[in-house]
Structure 1
Amino acid sequence: MKEIVSQKKWVYTLYRTEDGLLLSVVCGGVAMFEVDVLLSKEEAFQVQRDEGFLDLLAEKIRNNPKQYMQY
């Protein structure tokens, strides 16, 4: 089950799952798609300390989605 923790429309949604925090980032131009990244413990801790961290991480993911896609 996913519970929304934080959301910035058309940018990202942060979910709390049984596995931890999952960041879903909207990517693409003409064809929009989402890249889901399970945050590490360090990243989850950083989210609690600095709300702007999600914006920076989402931008990194949008700029290079293939690096974060899990096959």
Structure 2
Amino acid sequence: MAASKFVQEIHSIGDRLLLKLQRLPQAEPVEVLAFSVLVVFTGTVVLLLLIACGFCCCQYCWPRRRGRRTQVGPMTLP
């Protein structure tokens, strides 16, 4: 029952977004600017998530660089 309610809610949000997009050409400049800011913000978040996921997944594709190692020997006491 909860899944159908969730799908119905997503559908209603999509309908409201479509209605907002259809009314955008007649909207005031402030509304157009606010909508543009929201679109740019959402796009930036999605882009950063894709970059982060890509970096984390591809980190294992490249061999790790290791620093120079020095051998440690036993200490001699005087």
TM-score (norm 1): 0.28
**Which protein has the larger Cα radius of gyration, Structure 1 or Structure 2?**
2
Task: From the two aligned structures, give the one with the greater helix fraction.
Answer: 2
The structure showing larger relative contact order (alpha-carbon pairs under 8 Å, at least 6 residues apart) is 1
Task: From the two aligned structures, give the one with the greater strand fraction.
Answer: 1
TM-score (norm 2): 0.26
